[in-house]
Structure 1
Amino acid sequence: MIDPKTAPYAILALRVTTGALFLFHGLVKVFVFTPAGTVGFFESIGLPGALAYLTILAEVGGGLALILGIKARLVSLALVPVLLGAAYFGHGASGFNWSNPNGGYEYPLMWAVVQAALAALGDGALALSPTSREPRLAAARA
């Protein structure tokens, strides 16, 4: 049974944590690898270079939106293909285990499932723009 008193806060914790991780990964692509370096990597694995910019935008923008609770359901759903692409194109050749050299697809695949679950669960507590019709404040006050 789902506890309506704590569930919105559990979703909030998951939303903020995954948002922070997306933001971190996007900023690493900007400030460590640089956008040009990220483009080069994407092209080296056979992806269009422009997809690197879209990935950076998805990670930084999506991370901020999740942290703030702005259209979190839609953002979570939109990030699933990004993660599946990372699992297949970025880590697929390295096998399943994340601790394999160059990282396996285990971690981005798990993250894709988490984002799909967040899309199904709703926005949780303290969302700035809830996308579902469930009463947030009533559940948070109870």
Structure 2
Amino acid sequence: MIDQRTAPYAFLILRLALGLLFLAHGGLKIFVFTPAGTAQYFESLGLPPALAYLTMTLEMAGGIALIVGLYARLAALALLPILLGGIVSVHGAAGFFFTNPNGGWEFPALWIVGLAAVVLGGDGALALRPTFRERAGA
């Protein structure tokens, strides 16, 4: 049974946690590694350098959208390919545990589960713009 009184707050907590994580990782790419350095790293993986700029933009915009609840379900859906790409291109070969050299895939997989929960469960409490179904009370 789902407690309808508290479930929206559970999704709020999940949105905030995921949003902060995406802002932290996007900020790391922008302010520490620099956009040019991140693009160079993507290129070293055999990925188009332009994908690095798209990734940084989605991480920052998606993180903000999750935090404020602006189309949070769509933001979560848009962020899923970033994590799947991270598993396939970087973390998958390192094994399961994130403490392995080059980080394993357990942490990005957990993010995927969290994002999937937001996609399926809804925007949650205090969303700036909940989806139509949630506004209609469905």
TM-score range, shorter chain: over 0.9
Given residue 41 of structure 1, which amino acid in structure 2 is its aligned partner? Y
Q: CA deviation at 1:20?
A: 0.5
Q: TM-score, normalised by structure 1?
A: 0.92
- Greater alpha carbon shift after TM alignment, 92-101 vs 126-135: 126-135
**How many residues in Structure 1 have an aligned counterpart in Structure 2?**
137
Q: Distance in 1 between matches of 2:132 and 2:116?
A: 15
Q: Does 1:120 align with 2:130?
A: no
Q: Does 1:2 align with 2:2?
A: yes
- Counterpart residue identity of residue 111, structure 2: W
**Following the alignment from structure 1 to structure 2, what is the Cα–Cα distance between the partners of residues 108 and 57?**
18
- The residue that corresponds to 1:49 in the other structure is 49
- The residue matched to 1:111 in structure 2 has which SS? helix
Deviations 1:32-75 (A, max 9, x none): 00000000110011110000000000100000000000000011
Do the aligned partners of 1:76 and 1:116 also contact (CA within 8 Å) in 2?
Answer: yes
Q: Name the residue aligned to 2:66.
A: 66
CA distance in 2, matches of 1:76, 1:83: 11
Q: Give unpaired runs (5+ residues) of structure 2.
A: none
RMSD over aligned Cα atoms? 1.3
**Residue correspondence of structure 1 range 88-107 to structure 2 within 5 A:** 88-107=88-107
- Which residue of 2 is the match for residue 13 of structure 1? 13
In the alignment, the residues of structure 1 paired with residue 76 and residue 44 of structure 2 have an alpha-carbon distance, to the nearest angstrom, of: 28
User: C-alpha displacement at 1:132, in angstroms?
Assistant: 4.1
| TM-score for the superposition, normalised by structure 2 | 0.95
Match of 2:131 in 1: 131
CA distance in 1, matches of 2:107, 2:87: 8
What is residue 40 of structure 1 aligned with on the other side? 40
Q: Which runs of 4+ in 1 moved over 2 A?
A: none
Once residues 90 and 56 of structure 2 are traced to their aligned partners in structure 1, the CA distance between those partners, rounded to angstroms, is: 14
Give the distance between the partners of 2:31 and 2:71, measured in 1 at CA.
Answer: 27
Q: Using the aligned pairs only, state the percent identity.
A: 60
- Residues in 2 aligned to 1:134 and 1:8: alpha-carbon distance in whole angstroms: 10
Give unpaired runs (5+ residues) of structure 1: none
Describe the SS at the equivalent of 2:133.
coil
| Contact 1:80 1:113 survives alignment (8 Å) | no
Q: Is the 8 A contact 1:123 1:132 kept in 2?
A: no
